[in-house]
Chains A and B, each alone.
Chain A
């Protein structure tokens, strides 16, 4: 019996010394409606905004982790530089007992860059942390096409 308990504790402890992990659930694909401009001669006058929980993040860290930080960046596949991608956290999801996050709740949009930027930080595990996107800079001067970028989330212990 003691040996069995040891095996279980040992295996759990292996999980505990695992590296922290982040899981992003939900992508975003959006099309500009072709009837957006109703008057000839006009440019677009709008931004494209996703749902407030377009992507949800699950954060899983070992018990030994004291603090973690999530960085975010984008990696362009086929993109037009006139388009800017903005991101914000619209809530905190659900944290385990003793967890904390900073900043708390809804934060303002900030522009995503190809270089990593600090998004938010916290302590202990969270699930279902909601993220919203906005695309700005839409113009008829951008050729008709489908543009792709990849949003990358990285969690780091510190």
Chain B
């Protein structure tokens, strides 16, 4: 009789153990990880490698200065950026630098126009006209999570200017200087 009672209790216990394991509700987690993204490129429908050529004095009369080339405004900066919600990577700058300094006696600058508005998000703020040399300096600031659109006419239009500086006219030398202009989207 005692064995039967023990067996019965055992059976009932197993039943209650089974009862306690599952309920009418179950769940699981779902995790999505979105990475940081920092992509930048230059787009143009013209030639991305161009020449700014000073020309000789107008007319045939000696004593005039050389003429400045026309600005080039054929290139656009496109970028896609995902920043973090907090921490040091909450915004980025577009920096510009040249492989070499511009020729003596001249000034060289780049101007990034405001974003064309064909993308979305927190696009950067242009710093306007920036003298470009072989140091790294910002030209667009406060880039957040955004995209500008891809291709020429999207993003920020660049205008390059060069001109002779009268105060440094004595430094002018005949010749050709090749400058490689590099833009980088970097964390602040």
Contacts and interface: CB of A to CB of B under 8 A. Distances in A.
Contacts of B154: 41
B170 to A, nearest CB: 42
A156 B23 CA distance: 10
B30 A151 contact: yes
Interface string A21-44: 111101111111110010111110
B38 to A, nearest CB: 9
Interface string B106-149: 00000000000001110000000000000000000000011111
Given A20-B24, A40-B150, A140-B121, A31 B78 contact: no
A98 to B, nearest CB: 21
Interface string A1-37: 0011011101110110011111110111111111001
Given A14-B15, A30-B32, A43 B27 contact: no
A40 B33 contact: no
B172 interface: no
A30 B121 CA distance: 24
A81 B22 CA distance: 32
Interface stretch (B6-14, B53-61, B62-70, B157-165): B6-14
Contacts of A6: 8
A150 interface: yes
B8 A10 contact: yes
B30 A32 contact: no
A127 interface: no
Contact of A4 (B4, B36, B147): B4
Interface string B25-39: 111111111111101
A145 interface: yes
B16 A151 contact: no
Contact of A21 (B8, B22, B30, B149): B22
26 contacts: A7-B8, A11-B8, A11-B11, A18-B18, A18-B19, A19-B23, A20-B24, A21-B23, A21-B24, A24-B28, A27-B28, A30-B32, A30-B33, A31-B33, A32-B34, A33-B35, A39-B150, A40-B78, A41-B41, A41-B151, A41-B154, A60-B22, A75-B27, A140-B146, A144-B89, A153-B27
